[in-house]
Structure 1
Amino acid sequence: MTTEPPTPDPLGPAPLPDSPPLSLLTYRPPVVPAEELPVLSHRAMAWAAGALVVLGVGLAVGLLVAFGGGGHADQLDAIKTAGTIVVGAGGAAALWLTARRQRTSELSLNQVRAAHAATVADAEARRITDLYGKAADQLGSPQAPARLAGLYALERLAQDNPAQRQTIVDLLCAYLRMPYTPPRREPAPPSVARPSGVPRPLLSGPARQRASVRLAPPAPRGGTPSATEAEQEYQVRRTAQAILFRHLVYGTEDGPVSTFWADISLDLVGAVLGPANLIGCRVVAVDFTNVTFTGDVWFDRTRFGLSAVFTGARFTGEAGFSHARFDHDVRFGRVTFDGDARFAEADFGGSAKFDRADFRGPAVFTGAKFSQAASFADARFGDRAEFDKARFVQGWFGGARFGGNAFFTHSEFSAYASFKEVRFAGAFTQFGNATLASSEFFTAEFGRNTDFTETRFTGDASFTMAKFPEGVEFVRTEFGDVNFGGTRFALFAAFTEAKFAGVTRFYECHFGDRAEFQRTRFAADVWFENTEFADIAVFGAAEFGGSARFLHTRFGDVGGFARARFDGDVFFDDVRFDGPVGFVGARFARPLRIERVWVRLTGHKRKLETDSTWPPGTVIRVPGEADPLPEGWGVLELEEAAE
């Protein structure tokens, strides 16, 4: 009865390998045995000798039969010829055996050399393993000098053995990831003057005890053992960090320096690092998740080949990434910058995420380039934020808070810009000369002195429910389709010489102060529906290329349309003018459409406002004694309707 092997459980533990595990330090492929050479047997040699004898006899007989009939001389020549042929064949066989013997000797020599090389490699591997093990043991020593010696031994080992560099870097990173609390450096206590006087041995009793206490020398200054150990560990970690980072410096454009370690990745998750200088470094990938940098750190001109992760990290000092290059994705989500954060001229080749990042100091992204999506969703900018001349493909700032000044002058968003629910609380919010494709400012709140001068909106723009508590300037701004639905302008709003190339909507807007649309050009249809101008509204010399609709709109103080040009249909439906109105020099290419336009009268209810000038072909109907119109108001009508 045969027993079948049991079926392996797919959910059970994996079977152990037949071969022992490879060393973590040195990997060598398995040795493939060389092909065995054929051995020349005795039987083969006997057959070869017999063949030579048969060949010689056969040749001799054949030659004698063919040429031996003439006499003894001919027979002798035939035998000599046969012997010569046999001797030549034997010589050829001997030459073949000599060549075979030479080849065997060379193969043996190669095997000896290979064995010697393997022996040397094994000795080198054992030496590396011994050095690595001793250095690792030194790192675990309670004595700081021993740990320092282990670090320098590992550095030398990695410098001399490029194949071991990543392994040694991983060991250094693991050491820096160990739990650690930096020492507290408290100011030294003031020096205490030693009491003067001389010993008085003749005193006895309580007097002597008091004197001994008074005359005792002060305790020697110095930290407790725990504080001393913390300071020593701090120095050891500084050394490990310096060794790790100085070998990542590439060198110059001409080529790397001899101390550069190529193709290195860093895993420092949760580590506590001191001040770091990584200017000009090159790494494959880094993971600084939840790392705490306790001092200034500089990554200027550093190149990150693959992913760079800084999620949850904290920079207690300045953080410099100027001219840094990120070839792939980078993550700065939930990062805290206590000091300045400088990303000037940084190049982000992949996506960049700064979601919920906290910039407590100035954030400088001047001239930064984002080749893919860049997200600053729910980020906090406590100080000024500089994005001047930054280039975005897609920029997401939804829910961000700008506590200081925000500068986006000359910036570019080539595909999309989202500022949904953003709060600008600084004194200045500048978008002057910026270029934005499709953009969204839904429910955004702007601070003081908001400037969009000469900004270009090349796609759809939405300012729905946005709030401008103080002045805003859209002077010479260019729009495509734009929606200002529900926007609140608390103080002046200047759209002087702005250009609206697409459909424009001012739906349920409120202008609390002066609204200027002088020399503004509306190339397509424009709606002012349910909009209120609480103060002066100036449309002087404005051009309306499409239809212009003023529906359910209220003009508070002054409504000025002097020299305005209307090339399309014009609708004034349910409009109220509370103050003077001016249409001097206004031109209408099509008949004006008026319905329920209310005009406030001054003085006596039957007297019109003398400063007002109305469109040609219109009259003001003054209410009579029995007219149902409210007191103090008239109705603007077309002359034909009035007749």
Structure 2
Amino acid sequence: MRSIKAHIVVVVLVGLAVFLVSGSLLWLALGLPTALAPNTRLDVIKIALSVVAGVGGVVALVVAYRKQQISESAETRERVKVLNDRFASACTQIGHDRPTVRLAGVYAMASLADEWVEQRQVCIEVLCAYLRIPYEPALDSPWLHDEESEIRLSITRVISDHLRAGAPVSWQGHEFNLVRAVLRNADFAGIQVSGGRLFFSLAQFPGGRIAFDGMHVSGGEVWFGGASFSGASVNFDGAEFSGGRVRFEGAAFTGGEVSFRGARFTGGEVDLSAVSADHYTSPPVFDDGEKPGLLLPST
């Protein structure tokens, strides 16, 4: 409101100035006691009218610009309102009792993250928060087809789809907080980590298959500090580590298999040096040969 009033005051002052200038010129042209030549008087009148027309045009442009600003501001407010409504709706779906509705909410939140760049991190945090909810998978089911696990697998696939090369909308550079998440049958195969941070600290991998095969870490950070690899088949086969940092500080390898077969270590740092011996009873499998940047526990 103050901005509109300010513009009105400016327009009034400009109009007053136009009136005074044009009036003075007209008085000079028509009211001087000393007679002017007809041609001179005509020129002065033309100048006065030109000034009036020019300043009037400026005033019109100012008013039009202000109207455009008001219109664009209204459109922005409406867009943000729509996006907020979609966010609230997706959150409600994700928290629904019915698994099919929760799954629909996952894809609705992912779609919103693609469109709402300013709040993309918030949308990502909602998806990651779902994976951090306490969960006890049915370890006696080898394929784990229960509905809850399918929802969690879908979330990891949504995240991975946005971190792979050629993704229509990339989520590179964002933070993915999966601290204390319980993951069984998660798909992170082929993801590209060139920036941002992925936290799997204190995560549990109690069974099933966790796919990191073909991933490429060229920057950013991936943390597995304190993670428990107790029964899952965790696959880093064919991965490439050319930059960034992958840390396993305090992780426990006590069951299942963690495989780095065919992985390439060309730079960066993959650090398992801080894993204690009593938590290293099922050590990861590596190919033979030199691996720059790979730090293993001392024996």
1:49 equivalent in structure 2: 23
Note if contact 2:29-2:44 (Cα within 8 Å) is conserved in structure 1. no
Q: Aligned partner of 1:237: which letter? A: R
Note if contact 1:280-1:303 (Cα within 8 Å) is conserved in structure 2. no
Q: 1:279 to 1:90 in 2, by over 3 A?
A: same
What are the residue-to-residue correspondences of 1:502-521 with 2, within 5 Å? none
Tell me how far 1:348 sits from its aligned partner: 4.0
Note if contact 1:268-1:291 (Cα within 8 Å) is conserved in structure 2. yes
Q: 1:184 to 1:274 in 2, by over 3 A?
A: closer
Note if contact 2:22-2:51 (Cα within 8 Å) is conserved in structure 1. no
The answer to which of 110-119 and 325-334 deviates more is: 325-334
What are the residue-to-residue correspondences of 1:114-125 with 2, within 5 Å? 114-125=69-80
Give the distance between the partners of 1:320 and 1:359, measured in 2 at CA: 19
Structure 2 counterpart of 1:140, from 95, 101, 112: 95
Give the distance between the partners of 2:186 and 2:21, measured in 1 at CA: 82
Q: Aligned partner of 2:79: which letter? A: E
* Structure 1 residue 318 corresponds to structure 2 residue 209: no
* Structure 1 residue 258 corresponds to structure 2 residue 190: no
Q: Aligned partner of 1:98: which letter? A: A
Q: 1:105 to 1:321 in 2, by over 3 A?
A: farther
Give the distance between the partners of 1:361 and 1:307, measured in 2 at CA: 22
Q: Which has the larger radius of gyration?
A: 1
Q: 1:178 to 1:127 in 2, by over 3 A?
A: same
Give the distance between the partners of 2:91 and 2:257, measured in 1 at CA: 36
Give the distance between the partners of 1:319 and 1:148, measured in 2 at CA: 26
Aligned residues: 280
**SS at the partner of 1:329?**
strand
- Identity percentage over the alignment? 20
Q: 1:108 to 1:182 in 2, by over 3 A?
A: same
* Structure 1 residue 241 corresponds to structure 2 residue 156: yes
Structure 2, unaligned stretches of length 5 or more?
none
1:547 equivalent in structure 2: none
Q: 1:109 to 1:140 in 2, by over 3 A?
A: same
1:360 equivalent in structure 2: 282
1:183 equivalent in structure 2: 138
Note if contact 1:249-1:278 (Cα within 8 Å) is conserved in structure 2. no
What are the residue-to-residue correspondences of 1:22-421 with 2, within 5 Å? 36=7, 37=10, 39-40=13-14, 45=19, 48-50=22-24, 52-54=26-28, 56=30, 58=32, 61=34, 82-185=37-140, 231-250=146-165, 256-283=166-193, 284-293=196-205, 294-299=207-212, 300-303=214-217, 305-315=219-229, 316-320=232-236, 322-325=238-241, 327-337=243-253, 338-342=256-260, 344-350=263-269, 352-356=271-275, 358=280, 360=282, 363-365=285-287, 366-370=289-293, 375-376=295-296, 379=297, 397=298, 400=299
Note if contact 1:285-1:304 (Cα within 8 Å) is conserved in structure 2. no
Q: Aligned partner of 1:364: which letter? A: F
Tell me how far 1:360 sits from its aligned partner: 1.0
**Cα RMSD (Å) of the superposition?**
3.1
Tell me how far 1:296 sits from its aligned partner: 2.6
Per-residue CA deviations over 1:322-368 (Å, capped at 9, x if unaligned) read: 33225233311232343142163123414734322526155205442
Q: Normalized per residue, which structure has more helix?
A: 2
Per-residue CA deviations over 1:471-529 (Å, capped at 9, x if unaligned) read: xxxxxxxxxxxxxxxxxxxxxxxxxxxxxxxxxxxxxxxxxxxxxxxxxxxxxxxxxxx
The TM-score, its normalising length taken from structure 2, stands at 0.80
Per-residue CA deviations over 1:432-465 (Å, capped at 9, x if unaligned) read: xxxxxxxxxxxxxxxxxxxxxxxxxxxxxxxxxx
What are the residue-to-residue correspondences of 1:425-440 with 2, within 5 Å? none
Give the distance between the partners of 2:56 and 2:31, measured in 1 at CA: 29
Q: Normalized per residue, which structure has more strand?
A: 1
Give the distance between the partners of 2:127 and 2:24, measured in 1 at CA: 74
Note if contact 2:241-2:264 (Cα within 8 Å) is conserved in structure 1. no
Q: 1:278 to 1:303 in 2, by over 3 A?
A: same
Give the distance between the partners of 1:273 and 1:186, measured in 2 at CA: 14
Q: 1:42 to 1:112 in 2, by over 3 A?
A: closer
**SS at the partner of 1:318?**
strand
Tell me how far 1:123 sits from its aligned partner: 1.2
Q: Aligned partner of 1:236: which letter? A: I
Give the distance between the partners of 2:17 and 2:87, measured in 1 at CA: 57
The TM-score, its normalising length taken from structure 1, stands at 0.40
Tell me how far 1:259 sits from its aligned partner: 4.4
Structure 1 stretches of at least 4 aligned residues deviating more than 6 Å after TM superposition: none
Structure 1, unaligned stretches of length 5 or more?
1-31, 62-78, 188-226, 251-255, 380-396, 401-643
Give the distance between the partners of 2:203 and 2:218, measured in 1 at CA: 17
Note if contact 1:334-1:354 (Cα within 8 Å) is conserved in structure 2. no
1:482 equivalent in structure 2: none
**SS at the partner of 2:198?**
strand
Tell me how far 1:175 sits from its aligned partner: 0.9
Q: 1:336 to 1:112 in 2, by over 3 A?
A: same
Q: Aligned partner of 2:240: which letter? A: A
**SS at the partner of 2:220?**
coil
**SS at the partner of 1:289?**
coil
